């Protein structure tokens, strides 16, 4: 497969990705176009190939990649749609690793801009490469630390990489535009982490959203915590 629109997609015997991603999208009540399916198929194919040599992610099993990477990232698509109200946006993925969740988000929102940031060069090299193969022209990869990048003025800054909400806000908060969101994906809802943030002296950030995510084909707990500067009501879903 050379590009995301390659005819191999239509004739491939590996229809499992297409069928399972389509079923996952139905469960999450999100639309999935043929173009998006092509991009996700392309991503999984190239991640598996690169991972044999470059160790981009600890997950190597096909099912693990599909469930714990693709479906995990798909779980936040409905939230992003709701927060942005269907408008174009700029999103920054901090500690993007193999391009997750940034590349999945870029596949679903081709009119919006996605910036994937990681301090490991082999990972940003992969992101640039696979974004090209996916025909995701809306993706930029930066080999830098998030704190060293000039202000990006993004509506959403997201990460699966930070354990601490306080540290995430300190390092990445400057990139959030007025009224925008810091979104942190977590394996567990840690009240101590939220308390640490809200007890900080500057009081710049407030937890405005907490949501338990539904990850297709997974029984693992996943949560999303949303921070905003402005005073908004607490949303618990």
Task: Detail the residues annotated as belonging to a binding site for S-adenosyl-L-methionine.
Answer: 95, 100, 146-147, 160
Give the largest CA-CA distance in the chain: 59
Report the alpha-carbon distance of residue 63 to residue 215 in Å, rounded: 13
Distances in Å between the alpha carbon of 2 and those of 132, 139, 141? 9, 18, 20
Among 53, 145, 137, smallest CA distance to 95 is for 145
Closest CA to 139 of 117, 158, 122: 117
| Binding positions | 95, 100, 146-147, 160
Is there a contact between 43 and 134 (Cβ–Cβ < 8 Å)?
A: yes
């Amino acid at each position: 497969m050379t590009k995301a629109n390659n005819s191999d997609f239509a004739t491939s015997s590996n229809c499992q990705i297409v069928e399972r991603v389509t079923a996952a999208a139905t469960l999450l009540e999100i639309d999935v176009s043929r173009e998006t399916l092509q991009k996700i198929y392309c991503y999984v194919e190239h991640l598996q190939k690169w991972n044999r040599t470059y160790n981009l992610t600890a997950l190597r099993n096909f099912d693990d990649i599909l469930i714990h990477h693709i479906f995990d990232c798909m779980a936040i698509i409905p939230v992003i749609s709701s927060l942005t109200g269907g408008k174009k946006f700029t999103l920054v993925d901090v500690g993007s690793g193999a391009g997750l969740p940034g590349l999945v988000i870029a596949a679903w929102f081709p009119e919006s801009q996605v910036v994937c940031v990681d301090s490991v060069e082999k990972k940003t090299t992969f992101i640039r490469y696979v974004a090209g193969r996916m025909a995701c022209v809306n993706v930029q990869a930066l080999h830098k630390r998030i704190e060293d990048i000039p202000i990006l003025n993004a509506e959403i800054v997201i990460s699966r990489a930070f354990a601490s909400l306080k540290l995430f806000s300190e390092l990445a908060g400057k990139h959030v535009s007025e009224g925008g969101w810091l979104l942190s994906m977590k394996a567990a809802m840690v009240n101590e982490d939220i308390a640490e943030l809200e007890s900080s002296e500057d009081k710049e950030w407030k937890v405005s959203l907490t949501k338990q995510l539904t990850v297709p084909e997974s029984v693992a707990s996943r949560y999303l915590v949303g921070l905003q500067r402005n005073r908004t009501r607490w949303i618990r879903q």
